Amino acid sequence: MFSRVPDLDEHALLSAAKAGDERAFDRLVEPYRGELQAHCYRMLGSLHDAEDALQDALLNAWRGLAGFEARSSLRSWLYTVATNACLSAIRKRRRRVLPIDLGPPADPNDAPPEPLLEPLWVEPYPDEALGLRDGFAAPDARYEQRESVELAFVAALQHLPAHQRAVLILREVLGFSAAEVGDALELTVSAVNSHMQRARKAVEQSLPEQSQQATLRSLGDDEIRRIVEGYVDAWERADVPAVVSMLAEDAAMAMPPMPLWFSGRAAIEAFISRGPLSGEIRWRHVPTRANGQLAIGCYEWQEDKGAYLPSVLDVLTLRGTEIAAITAFVDDAIFARFGLPSMVAG
């Protein structure tokens, strides 16, 4: 199992923490906090739920630190504690989904339904919070860690039974051995392998042929910049044909917490021409990254404020140079999580 070689400081901090020093414990776990939060996000599909689970995990780790006998690395043990905190959370909460999981596409001519504001939707995850470090991914890990937070992968994970989800993440994202996963989850190696086989088959059926990471690498920075600038320019000019020209023929558009989605260029064109690009709203945009994908912070003009204020975070899924999906998270509260400005001047 891959692990970071503990240094003298870690040994000293561990001894101090076991003796009851809370500050030593905080320093001990701080290097792992980002990657553990990303792990909880993969398990739960929600940044808010991930933060709650991580807090529970760290509290459990503090309380159980005396029982840590260093037979495995501290990092491996923390992953075990965090995984079990996530499994506990899964038992108590509804699974997270995207609107496309709820039913067939909507008719853009129908009146929009009321938003579903209960904890239901998969949430976007800021790239800067991933906590990635070179050398931590095992050579035989199937999914790169950025690929493992892409929306399609995280959404697919939420459909798996809890233990299948945990096994797939621990084995293929993080590279734990079947024996180590069995120890963490109190399963036999045979059970781990069985869960793994079922989970892999289910997830692979849901994923596109090419990950967003592979797509972005194949496009290169100049082409990516052209796509982003073209998308922003078309929206700010309210140019519906220009937006539609960037879409794949079978593109999808969803807007959580609205429980609906649109399928195909024609349906998306009908919706945006009647709604966000009807000419009644003025937009400004700030590019960012979410879930290892291109994302755009969309700001809506507010006359009484004399500024553009946060409105929607668009996460783009590309297929080649075309936009295959727009997942528009209608939640101004998430902008701060992405380090986006609180307003854009007029």
The most confident of the ranges 53-62, 143-152, 207-216 is 53-62
Cα–Cα dist 16/11, whole Å: 9
Q: Which of 230, 249, 232 is nearest to 296 (CA)?
A: 232
Q: What pLDDT, in 10s, does the model give residues 303-332?
A: 999 999 999 999 999 999 999 999 999 999
Q: Which of 288, 323, 287 is nearest to 125 (CA)?
A: 288
Q: What pLDDT, in 10s, does the model give residues 164-200?
A: 999 999 999 999 999 999 999 999 999 999 999 999 9
**Is the pTM above the cut of 0.85?**
yes
Q: Which of 199, 277, 214, 215 is nearest to 248 (CA)?
A: 215
Helices vs. strands in the chain: H and E counts, helices first:
12, 7
Q: Per-residue pLDDT for 5 more than 60?
A: no
**Sequence-separated (6 or more) residues with CB below 8 Å from residue 329:** 121, 123, 124, 255, 256, 312, 313, 314, 315
pLDDT the model gives residue 70: 75
Higher per-residue pLDDT: 130 or 251: 251
At 299, the pLDDT band (50, 70, 90 cuts) reads very high
Paired strand residues for 253: 262, 326
Measured from the Cβ of residue 259, the count of other Cβ atoms closer than 10 Å reads: 19
Cα–Cα dist 195/202, whole Å: 11
- Give the least confident one: 138-147, 206-215, 259-268: 138-147
* b/e map 16-35, b = 16+ CB within 10 Å: bbeeeeeebbebbbeebebb
Cα–Cα dist 159/328, whole Å: 21
pLDDT the model gives residue 101: 92
At 139, the pLDDT band (50, 70, 90 cuts) reads very low
Q: Per-residue pLDDT for 125 more than 50?
A: yes
In the predicted model, what is the mean pLDDT of the chain?
91
Q: What pLDDT, in 10s, does the model give residues 24-80?
A: 999 999 999 999 999 999 999 999 999 999 999 999 999 999 889 877 889 999 999
pLDDT the model gives residue 8: 52
Measured from the Cβ of residue 221, the count of other Cβ atoms closer than 10 Å reads: 8
In the chain, the percentage of residues whose pLDDT exceeds 90 is 83
For residue 192, give the 3-state DSSP assignment: helix
Measured from the Cβ of residue 239, the count of other Cβ atoms closer than 10 Å reads: 13
Q: Per-residue pLDDT for 135 more than 50?
A: no
Q: What pLDDT, in 10s, does the model give residues 68-119?
A: 987 788 999 999 999 999 999 999 988 999 999 999 999 998 888 888 887 7
Paired strand residues for 58: none
The full length of the chain comes to 346
Domains contained in the chain, CATH given: 8-206 (1.10.1740.10), 212-345 (3.10.450.50)
Find out whether 35 and 136 touch, Cβ atoms under 8 Å: yes
